[in-house]
Amino acid sequence: MKQRASGIVLGVVGAIVLGFAVLAAIWQGVNAIGGLGYEPGVLKASKTGTNEATISLSTFPDSQVCHQDANAQQIEWVSYCPTTSLEVPANSLITVVINNYDSATKLVNPYFRQVQGTVGGVEMVNNKPMSQVSADNISHTFTLQSTPEEVHPLFVSVPIVAVPDDAPDAVTIAGNQYPRPNVISFQFRTGPAGTYIWHCYDPCGADRVPPYGFSGAMSTTGFMAGTLQVTNY
């Protein structure tokens, strides 16, 4: 399925430092998005009630569904879909639903196996509540955090439970075959309007030299990195 990261295990401290480096790279890329070769459309959360909204995403082991025009290298990159540019209402309860079609890549930092910042401290995995996931059974993370100048900090991090490596293809999407997905859902609350960055902390990039799985798709807007705009609408 996905391209595997190096088996070299980074220390927890090193992984945290690396994580901040990924965040800095993503923020720099967002500020110069035209240089990334990808202009994402915006996925706006659907309001489901007073001060409530829902947004739906998928994660794929390749870019066949959302990046058909990607180059030969990028077409093999793991990706969030349909876009990584998200917009949600301010001062609201946000429900995120993620259909994951991807297999596991071992976390190098077990900190991200824990569910953090969600309502109740849990995620629902195929309708089962979970507060943490085995580091060996995670495809990606959805990690949402404040940009450097944000005055209303927000942190949400949810591990995305993997489908088995040997799961049979059972679903056809845009002419491509994938296994039946794990359905992950969680809720968090927004405050006033602001700008946030979200990305993956699971090392699912293609590199075999430093930073060991944290480049390529991991730091590219439209694949494993994006923004979340909290707005008044």
Q: What is the CATH number of the domain that holds 192?
A: 2.60.40.420
Q: Is residue 196 part of a domain?
A: yes
* pLDDT score at 212: 72
Q: Is residue 2 part of a domain?
A: no
* pLDDT score at 2: 52
Q: Is residue 119 part of a domain?
A: yes
* AA identity, residue 135: A
* pLDDT score at 157: 98
Q: Is residue 5 part of a domain?
A: no
How do residues 146-165 score in pLDDT, each as one tens digit? 988 888 899 999 999 999 99
Give 34 or 48, the one with higher predicted confidence: 48
Assigned token pair, 5: 């990261």
Q: Is residue 3 part of a domain?
A: no
How would residue 210 be classed by pLDDT, with cut points 50, 70 and 90? low
d(CA 213, CA 132): 22
* pLDDT score at 69: 86
Mean of pLDDT values over 11-16:
40
Residue 25 has pLDDT above 80, yes or no: no
Concatenated DSSP letters of 98-156:
EEE-------S-GGGGB-BSSGGG-EEETTEEESB--TTSEEEEEEEEE-TT-SS--EE
Residues spanned by the domain of 53: 12-231
* pLDDT score at 120: 98
Give 12 or 63, the one with higher predicted confidence: 63
- What's the mean per-residue pLDDT of the chain? 85
Mean of pLDDT values over 200-223:
81
Mean of pLDDT values over 171-183:
96
Q: Is residue 143 part of a domain?
A: yes
* pLDDT score at 19: 47
* pLDDT score at 73: 87
Number of domains in the chain: 1
**SS3 readout for 17-28:** HHHHHHHHHHHH
The answer to whether 84 touches 223, Cβ cutoff 8 Å, is yes
Residue 83 has pLDDT above 50, yes or no: yes
Q: Is residue 186 part of a domain?
A: yes
